[in-house]
Structure 1
Amino acid sequence: MPVFELKVKCVVCYLLFDVRLNRLCCCDKGGVMYKDLKVYQSAMDLCVVIYELTRKLPYEERYGLVSQMRRCAVSVPSNIAEGAGRRSFREQVRFYYIARGSLAELETQLELCFRLGYICEQSMINTKQTYQLLNGLIRSTNRRTTNSE
């Protein structure tokens, strides 16, 4: 009796996925696995931290920095998810670049909070891991774009 492997590696993006889950890989046209991407998980964790941090900011910043920081934080995993759901690699990478722009905007707002004295240096959130993971996703998607042409 043959033994079937339940974990399959995508031949395009090399992500492992379980065939029993009836999900296709993020690079296939029929479905997405963005929730399994480390960069998506990191961006979601960052989003939660930003929401916790902005609760402590002054009330007068509720419609200013708080609102803007939360929108930026939500934009990062949202654009990763939207990009993963797109058909072409060009479309995917375009949304990953938008996510990277939102992350850079968030870093700027964190720096402003620090300079205004709203947060201390220990509260400065390290966005470096998410940024590095996102750059890796952009690089690998760009490679797939050039290979598919």
Structure 2
Amino acid sequence: MAARHNFRKLSIWKDGIGIVKETYAITKTFPRSEDYALSSQMQRCSVSIPSNIAEGTSKGTDKHFIQYLETALGSAFEWETQLIISFEIGYISEETFKHLENKIQIIQGMITRFMENLSKS
């Protein structure tokens, strides 16, 4: 049986919430034509990261928790790709891109290490 985790105390969840907040802030600056396209996709991806972490904490085994962490990690990589696209098409500045790229890569590393630690237990 997995040790139950309180998602609200997990750094990866807290950092995921931070990405959600920053995502909503930057996508507000995107053209209105992106409301149902890139903006919406980035928002859904960002929300998926902490949501899957939280849902995974409810699972009875570490194996099942890891599956949710894998989904969160996949969303983090998908979100990073959308961030790159946003920069490449000129929706965000290089400074914003570098800042958010660094944040998402830190989260990706944290999720990966957390999954590795759960696999060992």
**Do the two structures share a fold, i.e. TM-score over 0.5?**
yes
Query: Whole-Å Cα distance in 1 between the matches of residues 119 and 30 of structure 2?
Result: 39
Query: Whole-Å Cα distance in 2 between the matches of residues 45 and 119 of structure 1?
Result: 18
Contact 1:77–1:99 (8 Å) recurs in 2: yes
Query: Whole-Å Cα distance in 1 between the matches of residues 84 and 108 of structure 2?
Result: 16
Give the C-alpha shift of residue 95 in structure 1. Answer: 0.3
Poorly superposed stretches of 4+, deviation over 3 Å: none
Task: Report how many residues are paired.
Answer: 117
The residue number in structure 2 matching 1:7 is none
The residue number in structure 2 matching 1:140 is 117
Q: Deviations over 1:53-107 (max 9, x none)?
A: 1111110000000100000000000000011110011110000000000000000
The residue number in structure 2 matching 1:41 is 14
Q: From 61, 70, 75, give the equivalent of 1:102.
A: 75
Query: Whole-Å Cα distance in 1 between the matches of residues 14 and 72 of structure 2?
Result: 13
Give the C-alpha shift of residue 133 in structure 1. Answer: 1.1
- Which one has a larger percent strand, Structure 1 or Structure 2? 1
- Which stretch shows the higher mean deviation, 121-130 or 93-102? 121-130
Amino acid at match of 1:135: T
Answer 1 or 2: higher relative contact order, Cα 8 Å, separation at least 6: 2
Contact 1:51–1:70 (8 Å) recurs in 2: yes
The residue number in structure 2 matching 1:56 is 29
The residue number in structure 1 matching 2:94 is 121
* TM-score under structure 1 length normalisation: 0.75
The residue number in structure 2 matching 1:130 is 107
Q: Deviations over 1:29-56 (max 9, x none)?
A: xxx4111011111111111111101111
Amino acid at match of 2:111: L
Unmatched runs of 5 consecutive residues or more in structure 2: none
- Which one has a larger percent helix, Structure 1 or Structure 2? 2
Query: Whole-Å Cα distance in 2 between the matches of residues 139 and 33 of structure 1?
Result: 18
